[in-house]
Amino acid sequence: MKYRVIIEQSAHEDLEAITLWLAQHSEEAARKWYWQVRKAVESLDRSPLRCPLAPENEAFDEEIRHLMNGRRRYVYRILFTVGKSTVHVLHLRHGAQDALEPTEGT
For 41-46, the CB contacts below 8 A with 24+ separation are 41/5, 41/7, 41/78, 41/89, 42/5, 43/67, 44/3, 44/5, 44/78, 44/80, 44/87, 44/89, 45/2, 45/3, 45/4, 45/5, 45/87, 46/2, 46/3
The structural domains of the chain, with segments of one domain joined by +, span 4-96
Question: Looking at per-residue confidence, does 72 or 93 come out higher?
Answer: 93
Considering the domain 4-96 in this protein, what is its CATH number? 3.30.2310.20
Return the pLDDT at 96.
56
Return the pLDDT at 6.
97
Per-residue confidence band for 1, with pLDDT thresholds at 50, 70 and 90: confident
Return the pLDDT at 39.
96
Per-residue confidence band for 101, with pLDDT thresholds at 50, 70 and 90: low
Return the pLDDT at 95.
62
Question: How do residues 27-86 score in pLDDT, each as one tens digit?
Answer: 998 999 999 999 999 999 999 999 999 988 888 888 999 999 987 777 899 999 999 999
Return the pLDDT at 71.
79
What's the Cα-to-Cα distance from 79 to each of 23, 36, 62, 92, rounded to whole Å? 23, 15, 12, 6
Q: Please determine, for residue 94, whether its predicted confidence score (pLDDT) is greater than 80.
A: no
